[in-house]
A and B are shown apart, each in its own frame.
Chain A
Amino acid sequence: MFAYILRRVAATIPVMAVVALFVFSLLYIAPGDPAAIIAGDQASPADIERIRISLGLDRPFLVRFGSWVWDVLNGDLGTSIFTNLPVTHMIAQRIQPTLSLMAITLAISLTIAIPLGVVAAWKQGTMIDRVAMVFSTLGFSVPVFVVGYVLAYVFALSLDWVPVQGYTPIEQGVVPWFLNLILPSIALGLIYMALIARITRATMLEVLSQDYVRTARAKGAGQRAILFVHALKNAAVPIVTIVGIGFASLIGGAVVTESVFAIPGLGRLTVDAILRRDYPVIQGVVLMFSFVYVLVNLAVDLLYTLFDPRIRY
């Protein structure tokens, strides 16, 4: 068990190294000389050269990469070109809305998608199944921001049930915080739900045809017990896998959702950074999100052993 965890954690290191190398190259080949930017308009070429040496920009690629990795490991992601604030500081300022959005989306998606997939598999071929699958195909096809606008138009502008846009920090009350995030979460979660519901249905169909399910039926287990105890637990591994892989769509979608609903989170930070060509910030956000994504999938891998004790790599 312990060896498995250790091996799995070690396996993420090369992946993270590739990510880091890519993200670093992004800044390395980005147009614009940081030394010239820092030196200002009045600087002579000699001044720029001095600053370049003092920043260590004259060193070879791999040396710079090494020292950059060292900085990152020490929690230093560089300084924004635009605001002159440390990138870690900017990320920390913006992280709460994004985390809240993702947490609510995850909660809503799982509570809707998994039962939906289970019921669709149980009632395979019926109207419920068809409707669920049409819903899931639609979820794949309608872009996040379109869903966002439709939801906001209907439930916020027309019906006036929830605020249209903006974000209320959780410190100012859980209810306004939740009300502000409910529409963005549904919009963001739709494609995620579609994905999870499909995989749940497919896996459940497979599991429900197994002998032990027939045995459970034969011994008189209730329908609910068969579905949720016998079948769902055995279908858990593929479902958890897709929950982890699909997390990428949550991260990508958050960038757009935050723009639609004017949520001051990391997505807004990314969009602003693109418009200002603030490469260190783009780099920091991409690195952080990728790191989160790798960690989520590591957690998923470790969860496997919980659902299926046979898994030992």
Chain B
Amino acid sequence: MSSWLFAQYPEAPALADVLPPRKARGKVAMFIHRYPTIVIGGVLLALVLGMAIFAPFLWTVDPTALAPAKRTRPPSELYWFGTDMLGRDIYSRVIFGTRVSLMVGFAVAALSSVVGLFIGLCAGFIRWLDTVVMRVMDGLMSIPSILLAIAFMALLGASVQNVVIAISIAEIPRVARLVRGVVLSLREQAYVEAAIASGTRVPLIIWRHILPNTLAPMIVQATFICASAMLAEATLSFIGAGTPPTIPSWGNIMAEGRALWQVKPFIVFFPAVFLSLTVLAVNLLGDGLRDALDPRLAKRI
């Protein structure tokens, strides 16, 4: 090219021979850098899980042991989180309460995913069933989920198992909708049509083509269901329609501290902090998984 064009400009400073080396990151550091929320949420959740599993070894005492002489003691060296109005050690109750929360969270996530997946697949593949099933799901979804759970709990009576069932029923329609949506969009895909054309049976199509594609959105959905189930369990227990009062759960500890919250706020405070942190951990994990598993969605929500 004609160099005279540029002649009037001073020469640009020469580029350094070697660019400063890019900071090399190991695989682990790279992962932390790319998905900080997965790491933070995962670590927090692992801690909570450890607390639930090793509850008896974490310097706890019997969470149901009464000590009427030592009622509503404030936090001290002996009673780290104080004692409640029956003299029970709140620290031990909170640590053991982790078990109920996690159990309910995971059980609801698993149960509603499995049932929702089944219903969604049926609705997506069986034409005549679709309208009926989806109308029923719409109906269930138009009952606010806490009220639906309250109604079931009033009917079934208090137990952890019933809490899981009651919350799952409210969550199943959401999973079913998600799965049905995926199925309907996948059915139009060329590779599914090719499989149908070549005579593949429906169960095999589901196993080979549909399930792998529902997995990612379902994992994300399951994390959020887990978080909202833990909140729902605490809410139900708090209003007296959840876990039976004999079992220490975060909701129950708060429900018992309710009458005294103006004078002894620590009774409500400690389980509240644990509950909020645990739910936050699961939500962060869910956010991170959504970004990691579906980059197209990451920008949107």
Chain A residues within CB distance 8 Å of chain B: 14-19, 21-23, 26, 29-31, 137-138, 140-146, 149, 153, 157, 164, 198-199, 202, 205-206, 248-249, 251-253, 255-256, 259-260, 270-271, 273-275, 277, 279, 282-283, 285-286, 289-290, 293-294, 297
Contact = CB atoms under 8 A, between A and B. Distances in A.
Nearest to B231: A143
Contacts of A15: 135, 138-139, 142
A289 B276 contact: no
Contacts of B287: 137
Contacts of B153: 274
Nearest to B137: A18
A166 to B, nearest CB: 13
B150 A146 contact: no
Given A14-B135, A202-B300, A286-B151, A22 B143 contact: yes
- Give the size category of B's interface with A: 35 or more
15 contacts: A15-B142, A16-B142, A18-B140, A22-B140, A23-B143, A26-B151, A26-B155, A143-B235, A146-B276, A256-B238, A259-B239, A283-B151, A290-B147, A293-B143, A294-B142
B139 A145 contact: no
Given A256-B238, A286-B151, 12 more contacts: A18-B142, A26-B155, A137-B283, A141-B227, A145-B254, A248-B144, A259-B239, A259-B258, A275-B240, A279-B154, A286-B148, A293-B142
B299 A205 contact: yes
Contacts of A252: 144-147, 235
Contacts of A18: 135-136, 138-140, 142
A17 B135 CA distance: 10
Contact of B139 (A14, A141, A255, A286): A14
A258 to B, nearest CB: 10
Chain B CB within 10 Å, residue with most, of A14, A248, A251, A275: A248
Interface string B266-295: 001000100110011001100100000000
A203 B155 CA distance: 41
A256 B239 contact: yes
B265 A149 contact: yes
A198 B301 contact: yes
A14 B283 CA distance: 34
Given A15-B135, A259-B238, A289 B283 contact: no
Is chain B's binding surface mostly helix, strand, loop or mixed? helix
B284 A137 contact: yes
Given A149-B268, A282-B154, A157 B262 contact: yes
Nearest to A29: B155
A162 to B, nearest CB: 14
B234 interface: yes
A270 B150 contact: yes
Contacts of B280: 137-138, 141-142
A44 B197 CA distance: 70
Given A15-B135, A137-B283, A202-B300, A286 B147 contact: yes
Contacts of B265: 149, 153
A141 B279 contact: yes
A282 B151 contact: yes
A205 B301 CA distance: 10
A286 B276 CA distance: 28
